Amino acid sequence: MIIQECALRELGFKIFIVAGLADFVARDVVNPLVLAELDGIPSHGFSRVPFYIDQIRSGKVNSKAVPVVSQPAPALVRVDACHGLAFPAIAQGLQKTLTVARINGLALLGVTRSHHSGCMGHWVESMAREGLLALAFTNSPAAMMPWKGNKATFGTNPIAFGCPRGSFDPLVVDMALSKVARGQIVNAKEKGETSIPEGWAVDADGKPTTDPEAALKGSTIPMGDAKGAALAMMVEILAATVNGANYGYEASSFFDPDGPAPGIGQTFFLLDVQRLNASFANQVQALCTFILKQPGTRIPGVRRFETRAKSRIQGVNLPDSLYEKLHNLADGKY
């Protein structure tokens, strides 16, 4: 089913209003979901909505949560997401942190008692478009074992980086620290696919598997093997320990409506880089130009910007079954 951006946004907004979210909260939730669909990242788009609604209905997600923003130090901003969806907490926190970074030259945002944060690249992109350099970290429910371990301990723990690039779209790097985002395995299972590529995951016994169901009961494999596992541990500390949030092995599923709230954390670093180097953006573009002179190269993030531009003209293709489910949710049919 092809649906245009405006109609998709309206559909999403209606779903979350019917589910009991306040207007401003619903808008903050829908914006990143629409952007994920436009960018061709359906694993972080509207396929997540039925799971969010199930958790709102069960009480696992606090539908009445209003993020609490505080400033414990001149360059520090803290947001308590109050076990609601993460998007409003991050959106409001970054708005405050942007102001703090412009005053102080740099700022850190810590989010606690949070939930799934969507595409981390979208958050750093928004700050890069404001002229700042941004780093983002989030932990997530356990899905990846330590190197040579046998039990899922870390989340896929995405990291993201964004910075200005002259007159071009920002440079955006966004990646999970597992060889594949867990959402892609979930999507494969939801679509009824019986196989995923080799090297993505192991089963509950630590044996390699191509069965998506077995993979979800087991563990994803760290990107870069031991180095990826070390980075995942670093992100656990930066996102969870810094904010007093749950570790991945303590957090409940983003997909299961039962159990306590995940209570994970996110951390964002913002730097007003122009204060260190007024030519920063132009130098970044010079680096990109040098890279692109080499055949076969590309710049991170460019493909998603190209996809976004096409989607805004051609619309987004949602699976028919998902489109029907979304309309039922908008009508309050659970």
**Of the CATH numbers 3.10.440.10, 3.40.47.10, 3.30.1540.20, 3.30.1370.60, which one belongs to the domain with range 66-178+222-275?**
3.30.1370.60
Among 106, 91, 68, 60, CA closest to 257: 60
Architecture of the domain delimited by 1-58+301-334: Orthogonal Bundle (1.10)
Q: 23-38 and 302-314 helices cross at what angle (nearest 10)?
A: 110
> Domain locations in the chain?
1-58+301-334, 66-178+222-275
Q: What is the pLDDT along the chain (334 residues), one digit of tens a residue?
A: 999 999 999 999 999 999 999 999 999 999 999 999 999 999 999 999 999 999 999 999 999 999 999 999 999 999 999 999 999 999 999 999 999 999 999 999 999 999 999 999 999 999 999 999 999 999 999 999 898 887 899 999 999 999 999 899 999 999 999 887 777 888 888 788 889 998 888 888 888 899 999 988 888 888 888 999 999 999 999 999 999 999 999 999 999 999 999 999 999 999 999 999 999 999 999 999 999 999 999 999 999 999 999 999 999 999 999 999 999 999 998 8
Distance from C-alpha of 288 to C-alpha of 299, rounded to nearest angstrom = 7
| Tokens of residue 20, six digits | 């009991």
pLDDT of residue 281: 97
Q: Do domains 1-58+301-334 and 66-178+222-275 have the same CATH topology?
A: no
pTM for this prediction: 0.92
Query: What is the 3-state secondary structure of the chain?
Result: CEECHHHHHHHHHHHHHHCCCCHHHHHHHHHHHHHHHHCCCHHHCHHHHHHHHHHHHHCCCCCCCCCEEEEEECCEEEEECCCCCHHHHHHHHHHHHHHHHHHHCEEEEEEEEECCCCCHHHHHHHHHCCCCEEEEEECCCCCECCCCCCCCCECCCCEEEEEEECCEEEEEEEECCECCCHHHHHHHHHCCCCCCCCCCEECCCCCEECCHHHHHHCEECECCCHHHHHHHHHHHHHHHHCCCCCCCCCCCCCCCCCCCCCCEEEEEEEECHHHCCCCHHHHHHHHHHHHHCCCCCCCCCHHHHHHHHHHHHHCEECCHHHHHHHHHHHCCCC
